[in-house]
Amino acid sequence: MKISNVKGTVDYLPQEVAIRDYLQSEILKVYTSNGFTRITTPIIEDIENLDKSEGGENLNLIFKILKRGDKLQKAFEGELTENNLADMGLRYDLTLPLTRYFANNRSKLPYPAKIIQMDRVYRAERPQKGRLREFMQCDVDIIGSDSIYSEIELINTVTEALLAITLKNFTVRVNNRRILNDLLLSMGFAAEDLMSVCITFDKMDKVGAEGVEKELSEKAVNPEAVAKFVDFLKQDNFTLDYVKQLMP
């Protein structure tokens, strides 16, 4: 018997488990005190749901589960592909399970639904420092409301949880496409170019402001708008107050 754990997974000693339990308990207290209720979902999902979800690069990290018995035998008799051999997989985050759960149980839930999920997720990561194949996520979500106040409530709730576990030196980064779109429009980009510009902007961490400028120039979008946007990026001032000053 091999006694070492699988790479990308961790064994926790009793004192480590006690710390993890305490932290999760404190986070859960904050979430429930703000009106959120906890649900649990299976770690296994239908492979069709996983493959067709909007998981981005995570779709390449799905632990797929082989078909069994007669189904597996029939799969071997046909074309041997991953999709033909697998019918289920392990969840790579808690978003897909939440959407399926809500669709299946919406008649039994309040509206909007304020949901807590604290569960393990699995990704077929390449084992390396800081990249685990099994880890815990502590999520809160509000389903059934498109109000910006729901977004603000989520931010306030999560920051309150961080303070409850004595984390103080943190920064909240707001990722809101509506704010970004309004900013881009104010700089002179055409509405039909917004999606393309945002795709390029998403590469900012990898290519820097110069790389963003180069790619936008190659896309032949409004050069004056590109110049304004790149100047904004080089300022490295992405606070909401600064963005508000730029908006008409």
For position 55, what pLDDT does the model report? 56
In 3-state terms, what secondary structure has residue 157?
helix
13: burial class by Cβ within 10 Å (0-12, 13-18, 19+)? exposed
Structural tokens at position 243: 């963005």
**C-alpha distances out from residue 221 to 155, 188, 225, 227, 248, Å:** 34, 10, 8, 11, 21
**Residues 171/190, Cβ–Cβ less than 8 Å:** no
Instruction: Work out the angle between the directed axes of helices 177-187 and 194-201 (0-180°, nearest 10).
Output: 110
Following DSSP, what letter does each residue of 173-219 receive, concatenated?
A: ----HHHHHHHHHHHT--GGGHHHHHHHHTTHHHHHHHHHHHHHHHT
pTM over 0.85: no
Following DSSP, what letter does each residue of 50-95 receive, concatenated?
A: HHTS--GGGGGG--EEE--HHHHHHHHHS---HHHHEEEEE-SSSH
For position 218, what pLDDT does the model report? 83
**What is the number of alpha carbons within 13 Å of residue 59 lying toward its C-beta?**
13
In 3-state terms, what secondary structure has residue 45?
strand
For position 243, what pLDDT does the model report? 73
Q: Where are the alpha helices (DSSP H) in 114-187?
A: 148-164, 177-187
Per-residue pLDDT of the chain (248 residues; tens, 9 = 90+): 888 888 889 999 999 999 999 999 999 999 999 999 999 999 999 988 888 766 567 677 888 888 777 776 776 666 666 667 778 899 999 999 999 999 999 999 988 999 999 999 999 888 777 789 999 999 999 999 888 889 889 999 999 999 999 998 888 887 777 888 888 888 888 888 888 888 888 887 788 878 888 888 887 778 888 888 888 887 766 777 777 776 76
What gap in Å lies between CA 174 and CA 74, rounded to an integer? 49
**What is the pairing mode between strands 113-122 and 134-143?**
antiparallel
Structural tokens at position 6: 């699988």
